[in-house]
Structure 1
């Protein structure tokens, strides 16, 4: 498509003056000791590669793309008060220095090339437990790893302990999330500025002498994200007109005047934590469907924030219910298209989507990080969504980074 080949001619936003990042978060394994005690189990095993977010959280080890194992052994059947618990990373061959540098646990054991991760985990357990005991594992443990452990004589029990622990962030994790979200706002500012600079040429938008497309916008956003030290991770979703109703649109579409342009930017920082920010703009709009939808979505987000003002203890699902009620009050359907087709929010951390869900009937806890993202969609018209990332506090919530709202794009 014309205009999709620009590189340096389209300058990105100014790079940050301080390129440093917070220290890599550690992981306190006390929650595993508590899980062992509660389940009367002796150990916990997790197996995955660097693309497995649970593995990343437990080990803080960022490579490679083949399976490795994490083993936590608690003394005396998982006595949480005993300091003799041990956390071991069974690292792949050739990664010893990186593993020792990044792993916050007690021991790094190196494996031979080709050794299955489940076999390495079994060897650690045998040294500690002698081939007998109950081992907690996540539900998604690879089948072959589970077989190695069961055939060695260990009883396996499923646990959600890791997912539950990840839902509540430490201050170190919050520092990473804030930094990524600030970078995300710079990517959004770049896109909004381009839309503000675009000119109307008949039924097309032009920028710098060529038609403006979602791909041109995406490249500019991603270049800006890179200048701030984060990577797009394939998550820069930009739709125009009807493609805005596709919640994960990463294709190419021309941007026309009068239609919605939805930008959902979710990059990943160097320590594995995500940002998440959505805004919707219209260039040269006529104040029709898109304006009414925008007003409804703004009101829905305010209603959700009002519910979050109560802070820790508020039931997650009530946040969604209040947002959905506001959408309905403006005459849009809830739960089906056209209308509000998804939940109001989800957790964000080392996964872009993790616990908690704002549809769950559980109380929110201080330290939980959630999106607040009501939207209205009509595949014949377009889509409107506004999304911010917040952390729940004891007495309210905190925006992890602020970014203005408004349907008419401004130069930022």
Structure 2
């Protein structure tokens, strides 16, 4: 049976043909990881994957990566490995690859830096550093350049079974941590936001997470009115609304390749009863909870991302808090914590089976408090499957089962 990466490269090549593009070029990024299972941070060294319409892929890389790249779990089509040493000029290798993949026009000097037949289209990784893009332009001056998302975005949007299994595990870890924090109730009082954020990240690791998927948010009291508050030294008080936004990456089972997928969950809780100064809290929490449910209920194939945003926003607007819902309803999740599809007003992309994204409406009352409730969902054949099932109510301790 072919590996996930072999299937992905084949799908990429099929889409290149439909897009009338000669090849896609990826550099260290989620796109490279998606296609090969190789994860590496970008550096000043040239490490580029060339995926043509029909020929085998070619991987130009520093010689120091030879052992790692030779073990890539891809047999057919197996990338041809072109290695260069630090005292080599990598552009010579890149020119050679382009000369093989793009028919050159004889300019009378035998230069591979010549115009290419029919102005072929080269799709470059959306995250590629400008220096590498400029090098490609210099090596193929007659080519037209566009973004690799033209072919890779649609592939990455729909998660395969291996990806969904990893996302479900990440969701289960977030659920377990959420329940554990709720159960502590009174023990949270007097803890600083930063201390609680650290404890959440410790639990995420203890329960199987590889590393935090993003900076954990603990926003208590008035700090909850800042959607991306950085956890600080404010001590949590009894009766404070506490926004908790967290998740961890887990490794997918990719037959020897690399691929990390995140959890992402938000709950807003209170130790005891909401303090008198937060007199609107229970009503606002219920509005946000209803908005989230309305958005989840709206999810099904064929519905647009904008319609899901509208489902949540209508509930909040009808309750009189429209101006306090200051961000989109959600974002796609996969190899990146934020990726398409974006659940935002005006997005006409139709949802398809296998898409995964957050549903996270919120209300933020400056100087008062904030409420956000977030789950990840996957689009099914006729609706949505939540990847989180921890309690969404605000109660803690023995009353935290709602």
Query: Alignment partner for residue 56 of structure 1, among 30, 33, 41?
Result: 33
Query: Alignment partner for residue 313 of structure 1, among 275, 281, 302?
Result: 302
Residue pair 2:209, 2:249 contacting (<8 A) in 1 also: no
Residue pair 1:348, 1:355 contacting (<8 A) in 2 also: yes
Q: More helix by proportion, 1 or 2?
A: 2
- Greater mean alpha carbon deviation, residues 111-120 or residues 134-143: 111-120
- Separation of aligned partners in 2, 1:282 and 1:117: 58
Measured at CA, do residues 115 and 74 of structure 1 come closer, stay the same or move farther in structure 2, by a change above 3 Å? farther
Match of 1:345 in 2: 330
Match of 2:109 in 1: none
Q: What is the DSSP-based 3-state SS (H/G/I as helix, E as strand, rest coil) of the residue aligned with 1:95?
A: helix
Equivalences for residues 358-373 of structure 1 within 5 A: 358-359=343-344, 360-373=347-360
Shift, 1:347, TM fit:
0.5
Match of 2:16 in 1: 36
Unaligned runs of 5+ in 2: 105-115, 252-258
Superposed CA offset, 1:101-134 (max 9, x none): 3453612333323767766544322233354352
Residue pair 1:238, 1:264 contacting (<8 A) in 2 also: yes
- Separation of aligned partners in 1, 2:271 and 2:182: 10
Measured at CA, do residues 408 and 382 of structure 1 come closer, stay the same or move farther in structure 2, by a change above 3 Å? same
Unaligned runs of 5+ in 1: 1-23, 76-84, 200-204, 206-210
- Separation of aligned partners in 2, 1:58 and 1:86: 13
Query: Alignment partner for residue 299 of structure 1, among 286, 290, 293?
Result: 290
TM-score by length of 2: 0.82
Q: What is the DSSP-based 3-state SS (H/G/I as helix, E as strand, rest coil) of the residue aligned with 1:346?
A: strand
Match of 1:185 in 2: 175
- Separation of aligned partners in 2, 1:41 and 1:233: 34
Shift, 1:64, TM fit:
4.6
Match of 1:355 in 2: 340
- Separation of aligned partners in 2, 1:122 and 1:214: 54
Q: What is the DSSP-based 3-state SS (H/G/I as helix, E as strand, rest coil) of the residue aligned with 2:302?
A: coil
Match of 1:390 in 2: 377
Measured at CA, do residues 260 and 165 of structure 1 come closer, stay the same or move farther in structure 2, by a change above 3 Å? same
Measured at CA, do residues 266 and 322 of structure 1 come closer, stay the same or move farther in structure 2, by a change above 3 Å? same
Match of 2:84 in 1: 111
Shift, 1:245, TM fit:
2.0
Say whether 1:223 aligns with 2:208: no
Shift, 1:92, TM fit:
3.0
Q: What is the DSSP-based 3-state SS (H/G/I as helix, E as strand, rest coil) of the residue aligned with 1:302?
A: helix
RMSD of Structure 2 on Structure 1 (CA):
2.4
Match of 2:25 in 1: 45
Give aligned pairs, total.
361
Measured at CA, do residues 101 and 188 of structure 1 come closer, stay the same or move farther in structure 2, by a change above 3 Å? farther
Shift, 1:251, TM fit:
2.8
Match of 1:146 in 2: 133
Residue pair 2:211, 2:249 contacting (<8 A) in 1 also: yes
Shift, 1:95, TM fit:
2.2
Say whether 1:164 aligns with 2:151: no
Superposed CA offset, 1:376-409 (max 9, x none): 1112111101100110011111112321111011
Residue pair 1:91, 1:111 contacting (<8 A) in 2 also: yes
Query: Alignment partner for residue 126 of structure 1, among 85, 93, 99?
Result: 99
- Separation of aligned partners in 2, 1:275 and 1:102: 26
Measured at CA, do residues 94 and 374 of structure 1 come closer, stay the same or move farther in structure 2, by a change above 3 Å? same
- Separation of aligned partners in 2, 1:179 and 1:299: 26
Residue pair 1:266, 1:352 contacting (<8 A) in 2 also: no
TM-score by length of 1: 0.81
